[in-house]
Protein backbone atom coordinates (compact mmCIF):
# COMPACT_ATOMS: atom_id res chain seq x y z
CA UNK A 1 0.00 0.00 0.00
CA UNK A 2 1.29 3.45 -0.91
CA UNK A 3 0.84 6.51 1.30
CA UNK A 4 0.41 9.93 -0.34
CA UNK A 5 1.41 12.97 1.70
CA UNK A 6 2.53 16.55 1.28
CA UNK A 7 6.24 16.76 0.55
CA UNK A 8 8.70 18.10 3.08
CA UNK A 9 12.13 19.62 2.67
CA UNK A 10 13.63 16.29 3.63
CA UNK A 11 12.21 14.81 0.39
CA UNK A 12 14.42 17.01 -1.81
CA UNK A 13 16.97 14.33 -2.75
CA UNK A 14 14.27 11.80 -3.67
CA UNK A 15 12.37 14.39 -5.69
CA UNK A 16 15.58 15.40 -7.48
CA UNK A 17 16.17 11.78 -8.47
CA UNK A 18 12.61 11.47 -9.78
CA UNK A 19 12.83 14.71 -11.77
CA UNK A 20 16.09 13.48 -13.29
CA UNK A 21 14.35 10.24 -14.33
CA UNK A 22 11.68 12.36 -16.01
CA UNK A 23 14.37 14.04 -18.09
CA UNK A 24 14.88 17.21 -16.06
CA UNK A 25 18.30 16.91 -14.38
CA UNK A 26 18.01 18.21 -10.84
CA UNK A 27 20.29 18.17 -7.81
CA UNK A 28 19.11 17.81 -4.25
CA UNK A 29 20.01 21.47 -3.66
CA UNK A 30 17.97 22.52 -6.71
CA UNK A 31 14.97 20.54 -5.50
CA UNK A 32 15.28 21.96 -1.97
CA UNK A 33 15.31 25.53 -3.30
CA UNK A 34 12.30 24.88 -5.53
CA UNK A 35 10.41 23.17 -2.72
CA UNK A 36 10.99 26.31 -0.66
CA UNK A 37 8.78 28.44 -2.86
CA UNK A 38 6.28 25.69 -3.71
CA UNK A 39 5.63 24.76 -0.10
CA UNK A 40 5.17 28.42 0.90
CA UNK A 41 2.45 29.00 -1.73
CA UNK A 42 -1.07 28.27 -0.36
CA UNK A 43 -2.36 27.41 -3.85
CA UNK A 44 0.47 24.99 -4.61
CA UNK A 45 1.09 21.51 -3.33
CA UNK A 46 3.85 18.99 -3.82
CA UNK A 47 2.70 15.45 -3.11
CA UNK A 48 4.87 12.40 -2.67
CA UNK A 49 3.89 8.76 -2.65
CA UNK A 50 5.91 6.48 -0.45
CA UNK A 51 6.00 2.84 0.55
CA UNK A 52 7.94 1.64 3.58
CA UNK A 53 9.77 4.99 3.78
CA UNK A 54 10.82 5.00 0.11
CA UNK A 55 9.52 7.84 -2.10
CA UNK A 56 8.18 6.23 -5.29
CA UNK A 57 6.60 9.24 -6.99
CA UNK A 58 5.81 12.92 -6.83
CA UNK A 59 3.25 15.33 -8.24
CA UNK A 60 3.44 19.15 -8.33
CA UNK A 61 0.01 20.86 -8.32
CA UNK A 62 -0.93 24.52 -8.62
CA UNK A 63 -4.31 26.33 -8.71
CA UNK A 64 -4.95 29.45 -10.76
CA UNK A 65 -8.03 31.67 -10.38
CA UNK A 66 -10.21 32.32 -13.40
CA UNK A 67 -11.14 35.88 -14.24
CA UNK A 68 -13.70 34.97 -16.89
CA UNK A 69 -15.75 32.86 -14.44
CA UNK A 70 -15.94 32.09 -10.74
CA UNK A 71 -13.55 29.44 -9.52
CA UNK A 72 -10.08 28.15 -10.22
CA UNK A 73 -8.42 25.61 -12.45
CA UNK A 74 -5.71 23.25 -11.27
CA UNK A 75 -2.59 22.37 -13.21
CA UNK A 76 -0.32 19.42 -12.67
CA UNK A 77 3.17 20.74 -13.32
CA UNK A 78 4.90 17.39 -13.02
CA UNK A 79 3.97 13.82 -12.25
CA UNK A 80 6.72 11.23 -12.13
CA UNK A 81 6.83 7.71 -10.81
CA UNK A 82 10.08 5.86 -10.16
CA UNK A 83 10.85 3.52 -13.03
CA UNK A 84 10.72 0.55 -10.65
CA UNK A 85 7.16 1.39 -9.50
CA UNK A 86 5.41 2.29 -12.75
CA UNK A 87 2.22 0.37 -13.37
CA UNK A 88 1.73 -0.44 -9.67
CA UNK A 89 -0.95 2.15 -8.80
CA UNK A 90 1.39 4.85 -7.47
CA UNK A 91 0.43 7.31 -10.23
CA UNK A 92 -3.26 6.61 -9.71
CA UNK A 93 -2.93 7.30 -5.96
CA UNK A 94 -1.08 10.59 -6.56
CA UNK A 95 -3.55 11.73 -9.21
CA UNK A 96 -6.61 10.92 -7.09
CA UNK A 97 -5.12 12.80 -4.13
CA UNK A 98 -4.31 15.79 -6.36
CA UNK A 99 -7.88 15.81 -7.70
CA UNK A 100 -9.21 15.84 -4.13
CA UNK A 101 -6.91 18.74 -3.21
CA UNK A 102 -8.11 20.63 -6.32
CA UNK A 103 -11.72 20.06 -5.30
CA UNK A 104 -10.94 21.45 -1.83
CA UNK A 105 -9.52 24.53 -3.56
CA UNK A 106 -12.81 24.82 -5.50
CA UNK A 107 -11.15 24.10 -8.83
CA UNK A 108 -13.50 23.40 -11.71
CA UNK A 109 -11.00 21.78 -14.07
CA UNK A 110 -7.71 19.87 -13.81
CA UNK A 111 -5.11 20.31 -16.54
CA UNK A 112 -1.98 18.35 -17.32
CA UNK A 113 0.30 18.65 -20.31
CA UNK A 114 2.62 15.96 -21.56
CA UNK A 115 5.13 15.78 -24.39
CA UNK A 116 3.73 14.00 -27.44
CA UNK A 117 6.53 11.45 -27.15
CA UNK A 118 5.26 10.20 -23.75
CA UNK A 119 2.78 7.66 -25.13
CA UNK A 120 2.50 5.65 -21.89
CA UNK A 121 1.72 8.82 -19.93
CA UNK A 122 -1.00 9.78 -22.42
CA UNK A 123 -2.60 6.34 -22.15
CA UNK A 124 -2.51 6.65 -18.34
CA UNK A 125 -4.21 10.06 -18.34
CA UNK A 126 -6.88 8.82 -20.74
CA UNK A 127 -7.56 5.80 -18.49
CA UNK A 128 -7.96 8.26 -15.63
CA UNK A 129 -10.63 10.20 -17.54
CA UNK A 130 -8.56 13.03 -19.02
CA UNK A 131 -9.26 14.17 -22.57
CA UNK A 132 -6.67 15.44 -25.04
CA UNK A 133 -8.01 18.84 -26.12
CA UNK A 134 -4.98 20.11 -28.06
CA UNK A 135 -7.03 20.50 -31.22
CA UNK A 136 -9.21 23.10 -29.42
CA UNK A 137 -6.47 25.58 -28.62
CA UNK A 138 -2.82 26.32 -29.13
CA UNK A 139 -0.12 26.48 -26.54
CA UNK A 140 2.42 29.24 -27.02
CA UNK A 141 5.63 29.68 -25.03
CA UNK A 142 8.23 32.42 -24.93
CA UNK A 143 11.48 32.11 -23.03
CA UNK A 144 11.93 35.16 -20.78
CA UNK A 145 15.56 34.54 -19.80
Report pLDDT digits (tens) over 41-53: 999 999 999 999 9
Q: Is residue 81 part of a domain?
A: yes
Q: Is residue 143 part of a domain?
A: no
Residues 5-17 have pLDDT tens digits of 999 999 999 999 9
Q: State the residue range of the domain holding 28.
A: 3-127
Q: Is residue 132 part of a domain?
A: no
Q: Is residue 134 part of a domain?
A: no
DSSP 69: S
At 113, the pLDDT band (50, 70, 90 cuts) reads confident
Q: What percent of the chain has pLDDT over 90?
A: 72
The rounded distance, in Å, linking the Cα atoms of 76 and 39 is 15
Query: 122 vs 104, 115, 119, CA distance in Å?
Result: 26, 9, 5
Q: Is residue 138 part of a domain?
A: no
Cα torsion 114, 9, 39, 139 to 10°: value is: -20
Q: Is residue 73 part of a domain?
A: yes
**pTM for the predicted model, two decimal places:** 0.89
Q: Is residue 30 part of a domain?
A: yes
Q: Is residue 37 part of a domain?
A: yes
Query: Does residue 36 surpass a pLDDT of 70?
Result: yes
Q: State the CATH number of the domain containing residue 90.
A: 3.40.630.30
Residues 43-92 have pLDDT tens digits of 999 999 999 999 999 999 999 999 999 999 999 999 999 999 998 999 99
The total of structural domains in the chain comes to 1
Amino acid sequence: MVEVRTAAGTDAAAIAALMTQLGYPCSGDDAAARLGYWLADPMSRVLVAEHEGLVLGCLWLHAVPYLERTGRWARIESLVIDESARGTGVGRALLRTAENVARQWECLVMEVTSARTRHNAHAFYQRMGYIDVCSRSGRFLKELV
